[in-house]
């Protein structure tokens, strides 16, 4: 199997990274780290390292000295499960899933996974099934359905569900074939613009992205992790949400470190005008809403490039931007289910039921790839000019992870549990929710250490405006 260094090299050079920079990276640790037949620890380590190296190279471009980047595999995989280890005033996370979320058997002896953490997704499932939101009633109703028919009907009704497929079943679908034609990270020019030079005058305490402005329009894990990573390297990240939009509070706390957070009502013209004003002065626009949702409000990539020539626009999707499922909503757990991971992990464990990966690794790895792509595109903009569109997807990250190979006996690995094991990776910090104990960023830069200079705060805590650049 390919080494972690080789995997990182492939990621880095796939979007034009200078191969010479790879000599400044040190990857430590051995796999496996957590119980899985897949190379989840290496996936976390290499995507975090790619983002860290991009930050280090931007620092060098801005006049700073070359610096080393090191990522420990155990620290990286802990960070890729950061939501599990977060403590607020020493309290552990509440139950992560809605009461009816999870796996069910269908009438044709298949399995489906329902994601119902948002109320409107739960309501859609119950409407299709004609039952109350109680687990036993959902299971009884699903025995009257064929798995694929329910998947189709639930999506049509606005729900998010997935039929468990084997890897071979998934690979035979047109969507899998469409993904095979796409890169892991896509960076495309979408408009003409002059280069935007880096702000000059780096001073003590500055970090690679100091002075850069990032609009973060995302929820749950992948997109917010991207924003959190950019904030760790010094960017001013403004998380924009809507007061009426559902959120998962524990994830909001964990991924909110380092960010400002504002409410903007994009369904009103006044709110859209606010967003256009923010966008006009942004460097990066990162979004993870369902396909075409923001385009319908006037904030498609091409719209953003007209509002702010030279913008870097980052798009996260579930299943990729090409193929018949390009418009399909999804989350990590569902993509794991439909693309073969749950089937394969169950088989490796000797089970005839789905088995999840031991981390939301598609989410976390994709988040770091988003941050990586954003930085690489921003560096390119500073050199060449233009407006740029970065695209990543959970399913494409899954395809990449699958192709890294399997670990024989990996499921027998002891899990990482307990405060004692994680003591080396945890830091304590104040927040708007109480005192946080949370996993530090695992990419260690020798001259500009990553840190979050702003505390996590409740959504909507700040005005919808940029801080003054120092």
Give DSSP secondary structure letters for 174-237.
HHHHHHTTS-SSEEEEEE-----PPPS---TT--TTTT-EEEEE--SSHHHHHHHHHHHTT-EE
**pLDDT computed for residue 199 by the predictor:** 75
Contacts of 270 (CB under 8 A, 6+ apart): none
Bridge partners, 70 (sequence order): 26, 444
Host H or E run for residue 112: strand 111-114
**C-alpha triplet 238, 239, 240: angle, nearest 5°:** 110
Distance set, CA 335 to CA 65, 114, 163 (Å): 41, 11, 10
pTM: 0.96
Whether the CB-CB separation of 96 and 130 falls below 8 Å is answered with no
**pLDDT computed for residue 120 by the predictor:** 87
**pLDDT computed for residue 246 by the predictor:** 84
Tokens of 171: 């690979």
Residue 293 DSSP class: T
Percent residues over pLDDT 90 in the chain: 87
**pLDDT computed for residue 94 by the predictor:** 84
Q: What span, in angstroms and rounded, lies between the C-alpha atoms of 447 and 88? A: 30
Length of the chain: 470
**pLDDT computed for residue 200 by the predictor:** 64
Q: What span, in angstroms and rounded, lies between the C-alpha atoms of 43 and 402? A: 10
**pLDDT computed for residue 292 by the predictor:** 81
Task: Kindly indicate the confidence band of residue 444, based on its pLDDT and cuts at 50, 70 and 90.
Answer: very high
Q: What span, in angstroms and rounded, lies between the C-alpha atoms of 435 and 185? A: 36
Task: Kindly indicate the confidence band of residue 4, based on its pLDDT and cuts at 50, 70 and 90.
Answer: very high
Bridge partners, 103 (sequence order): 113
Task: Scan for tokens 């088989």, then name that residue.
Answer: 347
**pLDDT computed for residue 423 by the predictor:** 79
- 360, pLDDT greater than 60: yes
Neighbouring C-alpha atoms within 13 Å toward the C-beta of 290: 11
Q: What span, in angstroms and rounded, lies between the C-alpha atoms of 458 and 256? A: 9
Q: What span, in angstroms and rounded, lies between the C-alpha atoms of 143 and 157? A: 19
Distance set, CA 340 to CA 71, 111, 133, 398 (Å): 29, 12, 27, 9
Q: What is the mean pLDDT of residues 45-61?
A: 97
**C-alpha triplet 217, 85, 207: angle, nearest 5°:** 55
What are the tens digits of pLDDT across the range 132-174? Answer: 999 999 999 999 999 999 999 999 999 999 999 999 999 999 9
Tokens of 362: 């598609």
Tell me which residue of 197, 211, 204, 272 sits closest to 240, measured CA to CA: 272
Q: What are phi and psi of 299, to 5 degrees?
A: -130, 40
Task: Scan for tokens 């990966």, then name that residue.
Answer: 357
**pLDDT computed for residue 301 by the predictor:** 96
**pLDDT computed for residue 107 by the predictor:** 96
Whether the CB-CB separation of 243 and 265 falls below 8 Å is answered with yes
């Amino acid at each position: 199997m390919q080494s972690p260094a080789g995997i990182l090299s492939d990621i880095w050079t796939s979007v034009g990274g200078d191969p010479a920079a790879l000599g400044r990276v040190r990857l430590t640790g051995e796999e496996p780290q957590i119980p899985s037949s897949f190379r989840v620890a290496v996936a976390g380590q290499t995507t975090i390292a790619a983002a860290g190296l991009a930050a280090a190279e931007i620092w060098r471009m801005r006049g700073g000295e070359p610096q080393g980047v090191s990522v420990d595999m155990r620290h990286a995989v802990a960070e890729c499960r950061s939501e599990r280890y977060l403590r607020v005033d020493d309290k552990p996370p509440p139950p992560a899933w809605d009461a009816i979320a999870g796996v069910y058997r269908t009438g044709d002896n298949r399995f489906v996974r329902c994601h119902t953490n948002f109320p409107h997704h739960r309501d859609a499932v119950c409407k299709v099934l004609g039952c109350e939101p109680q687990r036993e009633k959902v299971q009884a109703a699903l025995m009257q359905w064929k798995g694929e028919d329910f998947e189709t009907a639930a999506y049509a009704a606005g729900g998010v569900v997935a039929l468990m497929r084997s890897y071979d079943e998934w690979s035979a679908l047109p969507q899998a074939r469409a993904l095979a034609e796409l890169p892991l990270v896509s960076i495309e020019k979408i408009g003409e613009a002059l280069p935007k030079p880096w702000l000059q005058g780096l001073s003590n305490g500055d970090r690679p992205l100091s002075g850069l402005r990032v609009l973060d329009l995302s929820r749950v894990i992948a997109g917010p992790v991207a924003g959190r990573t950019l904030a760790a390297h010094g960017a001013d990240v403004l998380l924009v949400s809507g007061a009426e939009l559902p959120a998962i509070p524990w994830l909001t706390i964990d991924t909110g470190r380092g960010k400002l957070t504002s409410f903007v009502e994009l369904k009103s013209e006044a709110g859209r005008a606010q967003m256009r004003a923010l966008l006009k002065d942004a460097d990066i626009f990162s979004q993870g809403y369902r396909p075409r949702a923001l385009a319908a409000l006037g904030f498609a990539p091409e719209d953003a490039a007209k509002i702010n020539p030279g913008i870097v626009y980052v798009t996260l999707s579930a299943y990729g931007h090409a193929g018949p499922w390009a418009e399909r909503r999804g989350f990590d757990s569902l993509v794991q289910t439909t693309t073969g991971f749950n089937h394969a992990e169950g088989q490796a464990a000797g089970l005839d039921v789905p088995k999840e990966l031991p981390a939301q690794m598609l989410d976390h790895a994709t988040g770091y790839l988003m941050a990586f792509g954003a930085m690489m595109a921003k560096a390119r903009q500073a050199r060449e000019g233009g407006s740029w569109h970065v695209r990543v997807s959970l399913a494409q990250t899954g395809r990449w992870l699958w192709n890294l190979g399997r670990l024989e006996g990996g499921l027998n690995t002891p899990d990482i549990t307990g405060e004692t094991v994680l003591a080396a990776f945890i830091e304590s910090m104040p927040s708007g929710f109480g005192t946080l104990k949370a996993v530090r960023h695992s990419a260690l830069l020798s001259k500009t250490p990553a840190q979050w200079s702003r505390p996590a705060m409740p959504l909507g805590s700040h005005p919808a405006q940029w801080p003054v650049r120092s």
